[in-house]
Amino acid sequence: MSDIKKVVLAYSGGLDTSVIVRWLQDTYNCEVVTFTADIGQGEEVEPARAKAEALGVKEIYIEDLRDEFVRDYVFPMFRANTIYEGEYLLGTSIARPLIAKRLVEIANETGADAISHGATGKGNDQVRFELGAYALKPGVKVIAPWREWDLNSREKLLAYCDERDIPVEKKKGKSPYSMDANLLHISYEGINLEDPWAEAEEDMWRWSVSPEAAPDKPTYVELTYRKGDIVAINGQEMKPHEVLETLNKLAGENGIGRLDIVENRYVGMKSRGCYETPGGTIMLRAHRAIESITLDREVAHLKDSLMPRYAEVIYNGYWWSPEREALQALIDQTQEYVNGTVRLKLYKGNVDVAGRKSDDSLFDEKIATFEEDQGAYDQKDAEGFIKLNALRLRIAAGKGRKL
């Protein structure tokens, strides 16, 4: 007899997780607690309640985590200007630690023996969910049905539903792609995207118009920063999730934020996917712009050198790790004077910086000017500077060494 009496499941209400509810009940003879998070996926989450009730679930958690998601996960990540493999803005990766945290908290609240998720055995999400869970609750039991059952196709899942009277939508008229959405992005995988040579179909995209169809007139927007985070748009103060919602709309209307990449998964395989990250694309460009005038040169370069490591930490699922916390502490300390306003021009898929200003700016026009500087900078000083920096090169050359 199984020692699992109660399981907390990350539940979307879709086909996979609806099957998992019944599978857990049948396989482990246990009670299932469902947890559905609203992190801005763009679909109503409340219908998940009725679906869970129809499956006999008694304890149902449905929570609006949008502001926490942006404030405590997205914003800290963007303070580091984080991108994975030069392109990916980590939209899926950054949502997993929050879900893992709530799974563990709900397990503690309900006295559950285990947690469960619907991630497959091929992907990164299984790693992210489980690394987070183990970091926060070392002895937690994790049940990953995709690594245990033989329901390895949509047809088998639907047949399972028919056999056990599980009410699920057949998704007629819905996207055929494997999709994941939250306030930061939508990802698309599967179907024709499994061929890296095949171009993504235009009707796949949900949040943005094509650059060709974007308005012929540019949109200007001003973002106000406080300690590295956007706190206002065009002078209007906003909550973190409102900032991202607004930027998603502005960017999407201007054809901004589409990405088509082949990435290296942590589990070892290459994967082709398409991403829509409209607001995040603006955020990355604007944050680098405000840092360009407020950060010390060596601090900025240090941040840039650490960013790829920080990105890997998040992509691979180590948000709840000592190395991420150490990196975050350094990153956050650098943001003390990252205050001011950035003006951007949005036009047909492009984000151009039109201006930046800050009371904490290190840009000194008196020194940087090409005009008369009234002695602010003595150009003769550069001669000694160059000779000292060339000393090792001159010594080596004098010894006849070749480069």
Active site residues: 16, 96, 125, 178
340 assigned to a ligand binding site = no
373 assigned to a ligand binding site = no
13 assigned to a ligand binding site = yes
15 assigned to a ligand binding site = yes
275 assigned to a ligand binding site = yes
124 assigned to a ligand binding site = yes
116 assigned to a ligand binding site = no
12 assigned to a ligand binding site = yes
What is the rounded CA–CA span in Å between residue 72 and residue 66? 10
235 assigned to a ligand binding site = no
What is the rounded CA–CA span in Å between residue 392 and residue 69? 51
Side-by-side strand order, sheet with 219-226: 236-237, 229-233, 219-226, 340-347, 350-357
Q: Which two tokens stand for residue 370?
A: 């090409």
What is the rounded CA–CA span in Å between residue 223 and residue 243? 9
Radius of gyration for the chain, computed over Cα atoms and rounded to the nearest angstrom: 25
* Pairing between β-strand 178-181 and β-strand 186-189 as defined by DSSP bridges: antiparallel
Q: Which two tokens stand for residue 95?
A: 């949502």
11 assigned to a ligand binding site = yes
For residue 259, give the H/E element and its range: strand 258-264
Which residues does 396 contact at the CB level (< 8 Å), separation at least 6? Answer: none
18 assigned to a ligand binding site = yes
384 assigned to a ligand binding site = no
DSSP string, 45-89: STHHHHHHHHTT--EEEEEE-HHHHIIIIIHHHHTTT--BTTTB-
120 assigned to a ligand binding site = yes
Annotated binding site for L-citrulline: 88, 93, 124, 128, 178, 187, 263, 275
Annotated binding site for ATP: 10-18, 37, 118
Annotated binding site: 10-18, 37, 88, 93, 118, 120, 124-125, 128, 178, 187, 263, 275
Annotated binding site for L-aspartate: 120, 124-125
